[in-house]
Amino acid sequence: MDINKRTILWIVFSISLAFLWDSWMVSQGNPSFFSMTPPPAKVAPATPAGAAAQTNSGVPSGITGAAIPAVPGAAAPIKTEVVTITTDVVKVDIDTNGGVIKRLELLKFRDKIDQKKNQVLMNVSDKGTYLAQTGLVNTVAGPVPPNHTTPFVAVPGPRMLNDANEVKLVLEAVQDGIKLTKTFTFKRGNYVIDMLHQVTNNGSAPISPLLYLQLQHDGNPPEGDSFFTSSYTGPTMYTSINKYEKLQFKDIEKKKADHVKKANDGWIAISQHYFVSAFLPPQNMPRDIETRTDAANLYAIATKLPLGQIAPGATVSTDVRLYSGPQDENRLEQIAPGLELVKDYGWLVMIAKPIFWVMDKMHSYIGNWGWTIIAFTIAIKLLFFPLSAAGYKSMARIKVVTPKMQAIREKYKGDPAKMNQATMELYKTEKINPLGGCLPILVQMPVFIALYYVLSASAEMRGAPWISWITDLTQPDPLFILPVLYAISMFITTKLNPAPADPIQAKMMLFMPLAFSVMFIFFPSGLVLYWVVNNILSIAQQWVITKKFEDAAAKKK
């Protein structure tokens, strides 16, 4: 049987890319490319947070006998304000109307669309809503405690880090005899916001409130999203029961979001490309977890913590944390169990995670992610050197005996059965494995796809330059130089390989490098850099082996 291994290689490569494309579709909440299920209808634009704040749906539900007013009562109106806290890494706007974090800007990261602006995570605008809210609800009918719609008063104090290592913001509110004090602590170089909640019972009867922590987010697709960018946005959570759970807005809309409802540990979060905001309650503390639709195109994930019975005159304190920043794997591992899992490596996580670990260690010595990719490529090439050599030897043998194969095709062109039989006998005589040349590509395809996920998911590489025109290895090459180099390297590789017997197939083999180069225009430049360096090393290795066999064949003549 006449098997053309190059055709098999391109088929494998194309199938792998098809599955990669499918995984992009699924990661964006779209149905699988191979599924007959039609895509969900687009939802309406996000409702501003202020509209949702005046409804019962904005406060966690499912509390038996809870007394939650539509608009919290107050003896006299309290003037609210937006307090801005600035550190060396974040700039945060906190609305004293509810003590809500309504805007959070990352000062060390640039916006994906407009490089002149900083990356903004939480915000309320015509493009969508993203908020962090906390408050109290009662478990029985009775006094209504302060929640995220209650006016708070800000205690005077510094609003910028300046020369200090931390800055605090204290907010106070009293409602129906219950006082809630929120103390936000921001630390230098830290994306974790410590949030101390102190509940004082100024009434005459015991109370048993719940502290809720919730993140609201619209269901709009990320700005600047594309099929070539991994960009899942949605609620995620972690418990010791089901470990990491990744939810979809459309499932929440249909009330089909299946997740753990009760736990004693874990966290809740909103994950997006490169960044995450996660509420981190104390460990070993019972909690309820819920997801819900608060308004048209506005969703929430919340956790509720029982504070126990608080006697008149007593105060109970609960310290929670909010992480809102980059998906830095090493940083996340130190903050909370399982938090590093928000870094989405896709379906090849078992390969991608070790790849990042190795690259991270290399980067600690090299200091540049571009050169780290090159060093990693060389290491991978050395690791698979024996396997690659075996494949190239097989291809070199085929190239040497190509004239004999052509003679067989001419002799038996009217009898395919005898042609295949004679070809297989030639392979056996020359000790040729017709599939031997496939091994280098087959082995490296999982590495190639896993590396794509590493480059697409690693905030550590976001904005990381290499040299000159490559200013961000996670973005496509702006001058298309690397894709062109890839096309040239693939053209040389094609010339080194045995020529197909079919002229049409030979033309296709010359066309394929151009086709893949066009596709690589949309790939992260770091990934194309890996493939270009790999091709250059492969060309050198293949040329040496092919030359050796051709010289040996020439001496036999």
More confident site: 312 or 29: 312
3-state SS record for 169-229: EEEEEEECCEEEEEEEEEECCCCEEEEEEEEEECCCCCECEEEEEEEEEECCCCCCCCCCC
Would the pLDDT of 81 be above 80? yes
**Rounded average pLDDT over 267-272:** 96
Backbone region of residue 320 per phi and psi (left: phi > 0; alpha: psi in -120 to 50; beta: other values):
beta
The reply to whether 402 falls in a domain is yes
Confidence of residue 35 (pLDDT cuts 50, 70, 90): very low
Out of 64-78, 174-188, 324-338, 403-417, which region has the weakest mean confidence (pLDDT)? 64-78
Q: What is the pLDDT of residue 181?
A: 98
Same domain, 332 and 373: no
Same domain, 377 and 232: no
Is the distance from CB of 286 to CB of 32 less than 8 angstroms?
A: no
Same domain, 333 and 382: no
Would the pLDDT of 30 be above 80? no
Q: What tokens appear for 193 in the block? A: 């916001």
Which residue's structure tokens are 């040299």?
A: 467
Distance of alpha carbon 534 from alpha carbon 546, whole angstroms: 18
Q: What is the pLDDT of residue 64?
A: 32
Q: What is the pLDDT of residue 554?
A: 62
Distance of alpha carbon 222 from alpha carbon 284, whole angstroms: 35
Element (H, E) at 299: strand 298-306
Q: Taking the model in full, what pTM does it have?
A: 0.80
Out of 247-251, 324-328, 413-417, 448-452, which region has the weakest mean confidence (pLDDT)? 413-417
CATH of the domain at 287: 2.70.98.90
Distance of alpha carbon 290 from alpha carbon 268, whole angstroms: 10
Same domain, 324 and 360: no
Helices (H), 324-368: 329-335, 349-366
Buried b (16+ CB within 10 A) or exposed e, 86-125: bbebbbbbbbbbbbbbbbbbbeebeebeeeeeebebbbbe
Same domain, 397 and 525: yes
The reply to whether 72 falls in a domain is no
Q: What is the pLDDT of residue 152?
A: 97
Instruction: Identify any residues that bridge with 128 across adjacent strands, giving them in sequence order.
Output: 125
CB-neighbour burial class of residue 403 (10 A; exposed 0-12, middle 13-18, buried 19+): exposed
Same domain, 309 and 415: no
Question: How would you list the strands of the sheet with 234-239, edge to edge?
Answer: 153-154, 166-175, 178-187, 192-201, 315-326, 275-280, 267-272, 234-239, 243-246
Using only the alpha carbons of the chain, give its radius of gyration. Answer: 30
CA distances from 172 to 4, 118, 146, 150, 243 (A): 75, 31, 10, 10, 36
The reply to whether 401 falls in a domain is yes
Q: What is the pLDDT of residue 34?
A: 42
Domain end among 295, 310, 342: 342
Would the pLDDT of 505 be above 90? no
**What are the pLDDT digits (tens) for 113-168?**
888 899 999 999 988 999 999 999 988 877 889 999 999 999 999 999 988 999 99
Same domain, 263 and 373: no
The reply to whether 209 falls in a domain is yes
The reply to whether 40 falls in a domain is no
Would the pLDDT of 39 be above 80? no
The reply to whether 321 falls in a domain is yes
Distance of alpha carbon 390 from alpha carbon 547, whole angstroms: 15
Q: What is the pLDDT of residue 436?
A: 59
Would the pLDDT of 52 be above 60? no
**What are the pLDDT digits (tens) for 447-493?**
878 888 888 888 888 889 999 899 999 889 999 999 999 989 988 88
Same domain, 205 and 302: yes
Full residue range of the structural domain in which residue 135 is found: 88-342
Same domain, 253 and 359: no
| Domains contained in the chain, number | 2
Domain end among 342, 361, 396: 342
Instruction: Round the average pLDDT of the chain to a whole number and report it.
Output: 82
Element (H, E) at 125: strand 123-125
Same domain, 271 and 325: yes
